Amino acid sequence: MSFLAFFFILISLVTFVAAQLILKRAMEFSATHGLRNAYFMSRVTIGVVLMTVSFFLTLGLLQRFDLSYLYPFQGLSVIFITILAAVVLKERLSARLTIGALLITAGIVLVSMS
């Protein structure tokens, strides 16, 4: 894999993870403050923009690699999102959930290596 391919996979991953955290925060906010407010709308817009960037980068990568090879790189997002949800969003992580997320990530990485 070229450096350029690695770079685009990384950007696609970072934008996707950031979008999930921002969208979760927006939906939590909407549960108490409703949908019609500037904070909610701006966060959802940022989330959608980040997901759109990730989507088009993935589309560009799909033209070069098999889906079954490329797609599992997104699996790394499992462990990033689980940890960041605990750190940034203050969600509670049980040992069971952490081990489960690690196994899912390991499995996805294995799939991508094969």
| 51 binding other proteins? (CB under 8 A) | yes
For residue 44, the tally of other CB atoms under 10 A from its CB is 17
| 75 binding other proteins? (CB under 8 A) | yes
Q: Which of 18, 43, 50, 58 binds other proteins (CB under 8 A)?
A: 58
CA-CA distance, 20 to 60, in Å (whole number)? 21
Q: Pick from 55, 57, 25, 50: which is nearest to 39 by CA? A: 25
DSSP 7-18: HHHHHHHHHHHH
| 20 binding other proteins? (CB under 8 A) | yes
Q: Which of 3, 27, 33, 45 binds other proteins (CB under 8 A)?
A: 27
| 9 binding other proteins? (CB under 8 A) | no
Q: Which of 14, 15, 46, 85 binds other proteins (CB under 8 A)?
A: 85
